[in-house]
Amino acid sequence: MSSKNRTKWLSLVIRVSIVSFTGGLKRLPDSRGRTPLVALLLLTLGLLLMGLSPTHVSPASASSPICDATCCSEEPSVSLTYHSRSNTSEIPVSSGDILAGDHIVLTSTWHPSTIINRTRIEVSAEALDASLYAESSSPAVSVDTRYLNNNASCTVTMTAWLKNGTVVVALSPDVYIGNFFKPTVRVVSPNGGEVWTGHNNITWIAEDLNQDETLVFAVYLSADSGRTYQLLASGLTTNHYTWNCTGLPRLDTYSVQVRVSDGIYMSTDSSDALFTAGDIPVTSTTSGGQPVIDITAVYLLAAIVTSSTMALIVYVAAKRWL
């Protein structure tokens, strides 16, 4: 019985007891005081009922978490920050921001911590059809966005479960997250003015702000001052390639180009100026004064010439033994 109902019950019992008692005093003497005695018993019963009646606890009150003054008086709020490998300081994030860094880690922190039961953060990239999430039993939770595997505009959803059973959700849309950077490459040699014969090393320098990337290179050669390039080698993971220019036309119009890829982005660099290579003199030119050389054809021609020469040597030697 609630305290309010007990008060009403006590008031009713007292009123009935008083009326019964006073009414009994006005009766004839032959009543022998029975009526006042009944009133006294009713009053005593009411007092006993008030003392012995248990307090009612509803199943909902018994199973729900207790909400103290702090829980009920303060509204939850959330802050969103990020850090990366190159900048470990927490930087605030708002809708429309552009974030750049290797391994961008987003962190949502809910306040006040005393009312938080658990939290969740989710990053969704609609253009990539990809999402990441993390959950925590503390007010702060973090997720490494590099595992989206590309750069994209994202929506960040932050959720908190409060100790009073309430679920609170906050959104931060249109946050551009850029974990991946375009690699760069620079040709070191030949870079213009060299005169090469035989075997020589084509070298280059490459950089990528993403520390975990494996860069793959391809080397191209031009014999027409960089107007067209033909592949020399691909799938390289070192910063050099040994090139044998024996058997090639001796020209001063060669150029080298190196292409680098990190699996997402690609960039190129070429010799700053032309260089000379080859050991076969060239006399024929086009009307424009530039030689027309097919590097692939030259390699094939060299192979054919070499094979023919060897066949002729074998033939002459055989004739001598006959």
How confident is the model over 120-160, as pLDDT tens digits? 999 999 999 999 999 999 999 999 999 999 999 999 999 99
Strands 167-178 and 98-100, sheet pairing = parallel
For residue 165, what pLDDT is reported? 95
Q: Please answer whether residues 118 and 86 qualify as being in contact, where contact means their C-beta atoms are separated by less than 8 angstroms.
A: no
Q: Please answer whether residues 14 and 45 qualify as being in contact, where contact means their C-beta atoms are separated by less than 8 angstroms.
A: no
pLDDT confidence of 288, banded at 50, 70, 90?
Answer: low
Residue 79 has, within 13 A of its CA and on its CB side, a CA count of: 9
- Indicate if the pLDDT at residue 226 is higher than 90: yes
Q: Please answer whether residues 163 and 116 qualify as being in contact, where contact means their C-beta atoms are separated by less than 8 angstroms.
A: yes
For residue 294, what pLDDT is reported? 53
Percent of the chain at pLDDT exceeding 70: 65
Average pLDDT, the chain: 79
Query: 76-178 belongs to which homologous superfamily?
Result: Immunoglobulins (2.60.40.10)
User: Which two three-digit tokens encode residue 140?
Assistant: 């702060």
How far apart, in whole angstroms, are the C-alpha atoms of residue 105 and residue 190?
42
Q: Please answer whether residues 229 and 222 qualify as being in contact, where contact means their C-beta atoms are separated by less than 8 angstroms.
A: yes
- Which of 11, 3, 140 minimizes the C-alpha distance to 82? 140
Specify the pTM: 0.63
Pairs from 41-46 (Cβ < 8 Å, separation ≥ 24):
42/13, 42/16, 42/17, 43/13, 43/14, 43/17, 45/13, 46/9, 46/10, 46/13, 46/14, 46/17
DSSP for 56-119 reads P--HHHHHSPP--HHHHH---EEEEEEE-SS--S-EE--TT-EEE-SS-EEEEEEE-GGGEEEE
How far apart, in whole angstroms, are the C-alpha atoms of residue 160 and residue 147?
23
How far apart, in whole angstroms, are the C-alpha atoms of residue 290 and residue 222?
13
User: Which two three-digit tokens encode residue 176?
Assistant: 């551009």
How far apart, in whole angstroms, are the C-alpha atoms of residue 162 and residue 62?
18
For residue 1, what pLDDT is reported? 52
184-309: CATH topology is: Immunoglobulin-like (2.60.40)
- Which of 192, 189, 193 minimizes the C-alpha distance to 201? 189
Cis peptide before 112 (omega within 30 of 0): yes
- Which of 2, 11, 107 minimizes the C-alpha distance to 55? 2
Place of tokens 């199943």: 59
User: pLDDT tens-digit profile of 22-37?
Assistant: 454 444 444 444 555 5
For residue 285, what pLDDT is reported? 55
199-207, strands of its sheet edge to edge? 184-189, 199-207, 240-244
